Structures are given as structure tokens and as C-alpha cells.
Amino acid sequence: MQSIEHTPAEAAEYRKYVIWFVYACIIYSIVGFSWGAIMGGIPAYRHFVDYSAHGRLITLAHGHINLLGWVEMAIFASLYYVVPTVSMRQIWSLKLVKVHFWMHNFGLLGMVVFFLMAGLAGGLVEGPDAERMVNSFMALVGIFGILVLTANIIWGYNLYKTTKCGWQRPK
């Protein structure tokens, strides 16, 4: 399936999404770095994370916002710029760029929220109820994680198709 040349409006929309990946990277980095500073700087919070039954899940939420938010968003933005530039082809599917952006962000935020809820519930609630709550929240982390994985597959597929099938610019 050969892509057709993007209209100027589609090209502008593509640039907008590349910039949105950059903005998301910046926002996630500020949130993640602030979260880490708070986790390390407030003794009661640090103690809760370090010594409660499921405090490590809060650390996982922090790690995911940094890795899947800050780092991956920077990589996505960079490669959405570099691959079409180096291959001298337009992005194969603008629609997949949009789907990738929203699916990845929705999935990541869901993962982070439910990691945090599992960590808090596991540290504040005692007994068998705590384990049930943690397990329920972790199942939701898994569901949202599947969204992130699917978004990443869409991204890789779109970049691959760009190098093979995208509309080639005249040299």
C-alpha cells in the first residue's frame, strides 16, 4: 500500500504531534524528577516507600513515569523526526502517529495511577483485603501496560512502513 503525498495541513498536523511528544517528554520529566525529589526528601514518605508492605510499587510508578514518559517520549519525538528525514520519505500514516500518542499516554497514566494506588493500598490496608486490593490494581496495571506495548508496536510498524512505503520526496 503506497502512501500519497501529505497535504500542507497534514504535514503541519504531523509536526504538531512531533512537538506534542516533546512537550509530553518535558512534562513527564518534571513530574518524575519532582516525584523522586519528594520521595527522597520527605522522610515519612521515604519510610513508607521503603518499609511498607507494597511501597516498592510506588517506586515502580515513579520509574515508569520516568522511563515510559520522559525517556520514551524523547525517543519517539526524535525518531519521528529522524526516520522521515534520513529515509527522505514522509511518515507512512499520520493516523497511526495520533493513535500512538494518545494510546501511549493513556496507557502510561493508567499504569502510574494503578501502581500508585496498589502501593498505597498495600501499605495502608492490612490483612487479606490488602492483597486483594493490590492484586486488583496490579491487574489494571497490566491492562494499561498492554496499551503501552500496543502503542509501541504501532510506532515501530509506522516507522518501518515509512522507510519502505512512505511517499518519497524528490531528490
Q: What is the pLDDT of residue 4?
A: 65
Alpha helix (H) residue ranges in 71-127: 72-87, 94-124
Confidence of residue 161 (pLDDT cuts 50, 70, 90): very high
| Helix, strand and coil in the chain, % to nearest 5 | 85, 0, 15
pLDDT, tens digit, 9 for 90 and up, residues 1-28 = 445 678 889 999 999 999 999 999 999 9
| Residue extents of the structural domains in the chain | 8-165
Q: What is the pLDDT of residue 169?
A: 63
Q: What is the pLDDT of residue 5?
A: 77
We find that the CATH architecture of domain 8-165 is Up-down Bundle (1.20)
Q: Which residues, 6 or more positions from 112, have their beta carbon under 8 angstroms from its beta carbon?
A: 61, 64, 65
